[in-house]
């Protein structure tokens, strides 16, 4: 029934408004260690409409998964006032300036291969109110797999080249046993430009039976190497209660207009687990990219509920992306 509703919604939306259409297709083939491999195909088709006082978008995602072959990917309306922005529906919400260790993004799972990739839509209501002294209030009510009425609130203000954010969250999240656990988080953030890009988070998490305090520090910088670009990033987290931490390092080297080489590393302080990704992207034209990468896991348990049964695992990944 949900799939039928999504399809009908897209047709009605297309008939009512003058629309701009877009699409994306991605095919992936993974060759894992222990002689196993699998492939997947994902197709996103959507339409959007923009006016002075509102924006609307609807899109469907189709996959080769027989159980979830078609679903509503985005479907929301955004209204603009003099000082306010209100949006409702299935929309992408990402808060926080950190990449891997982002305590302010309670809405999404971490994608180790591409931390800044598009996230799945959340059924949510969202309100932004711009204050007159370069500051903003935001509130969101959202649904996840554990609870329908989770809440988040954020206050942001600007000082010169720096952005300060205070976040509060009250939500349920499933633990490794599949049980819904109540969580209450407070996250203070700083983001700015000090010659290099910098960001920091102070994280306090309260859940049933345990508290956690953590500090996140990160920075990035781009080098101009005789007409080519080298982008570098480093981010680290320290967890007080466990007296441990982890570090994430990444670089992207733009060799030419068509070729980009990248590598990322995630490792804990004692090198008891490790994730390494290396690869390159080849831009065929304005519409298609090909990416080849190698992922290596060593006793990887990770943070944020990443877990692998094998003590050693690796995979070779081929991806092709098309945009139209």
Q: Quick check: 309 pLDDT over 50?
A: no
Strands 259-268 and 312-323, by their bridges, are unpaired
DSSP summary character for residue 94: -
The answer to whether 24 touches 44, Cβ cutoff 8 Å, is yes
The answer to whether 235 touches 218, Cβ cutoff 8 Å, is yes
pLDDT over 70 for what percent of the chain? 88
Q: Quick check: 49 pLDDT over 60?
A: yes
Tell me how far apart the alpha carbons of residues 3 and 258 are, in angstroms, rounded to a whole number. 38
pLDDT digits (tens, 9 = 90+) for 236-247: 999 999 888 999
305 sits in the region (left: phi over 0; alpha: psi -120 to 50; else beta) called left
3-state secondary structure of 139: strand
Residues 117-126 have a mean pLDDT of: 92
pLDDT digits (tens, 9 = 90+) for 151-172: 999 999 999 889 999 999 999 9
The answer to whether 183 touches 167, Cβ cutoff 8 Å, is no
Q: Compute the Cα dihedral for 80, 81, 84, 90 and give only its sign.
A: negative
Q: Quick check: 124 pLDDT over 50?
A: yes
pLDDT digits (tens, 9 = 90+) for 192-202: 999 999 999 99
Residues 76-97 have a mean pLDDT of: 95
Beta-strand runs (E) in 92-132? 122-131
3-state secondary structure 181-244: EEEEEEEEEEEEECCCEEEEEEEEEEECCEEEEEEEEEEEEEEEECCEEEEEEEEEEEECCCCE
Q: In whole angstroms, what separates CA 43 from the centre of its chain?
A: 19
Q: Quick check: 302 pLDDT over 50?
A: no
Pick the closest to residue 96 from 77, 125, 116, 113 (CA basis): 116
């Amino acid at each position: 029934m949900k799939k039928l509703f999504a399809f009908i919604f897209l047709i009605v939306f297309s008939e009512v408004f003058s629309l701009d259409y877009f699409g994306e297709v991605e095919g992936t083939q993974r060759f894992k260690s222990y002689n196993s491999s699998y492939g997947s195909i994902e197709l996103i088709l959507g339409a959007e409409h923009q006016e002075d006082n509102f924006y609307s978008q609807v899109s469907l995602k189709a996959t080769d998964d027989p159980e979830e072959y078609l679903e509503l990917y985005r479907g929301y309306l955004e209204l603009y006032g003099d000082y306010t922005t209100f949006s409702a529906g299935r929309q992408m919400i990402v808060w926080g300036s950190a990449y891997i260790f982002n305590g302010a993004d309670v809405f999404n799972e971490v994608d180790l291969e591409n931390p800044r990739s598009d996230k799945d839509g959340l059924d949510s209501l969202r309100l932004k109110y711009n204050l007159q002294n370069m500051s903003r209030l935001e509130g969101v009510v959202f649904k996840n797999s554990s609870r329908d009425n989770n809440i988040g609130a954020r206050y942001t203000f600007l000082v010169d080249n720096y952005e300060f954010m205070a976040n509060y969250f009250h939500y349920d999240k499933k633990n490794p046993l599949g049980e819904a656990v109540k969580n209450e988080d407070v996250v203070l953030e700083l983001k700015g430009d000090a010659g290099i890009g910098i960001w920091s988070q102070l994280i306090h998490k309260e859940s049933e039976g345990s508290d956690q305090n953590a500090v996140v520090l990160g920075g990035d910088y781009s080098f101009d190497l005789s007409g080519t670009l080298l982008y570098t990033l480093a981010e680290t987290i320290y967890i007080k209660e466990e007296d441990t931490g982890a570090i994430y390092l990444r670089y992207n080297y733009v060799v030419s207009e068509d070729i980009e080489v990248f590598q990322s590393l995630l490792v804990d302080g004692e090198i008891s687990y490790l994730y390494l990704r290396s690869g390159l992207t080849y831009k065929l034209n304005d519409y298609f990219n090909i990416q080849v990468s190698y992922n290596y896991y060593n006793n990887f348990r990770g943070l944020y509920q990443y877990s692998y049964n094998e003590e050693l695992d690796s995979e070779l990944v081929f991806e092709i992306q098309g945009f139209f």
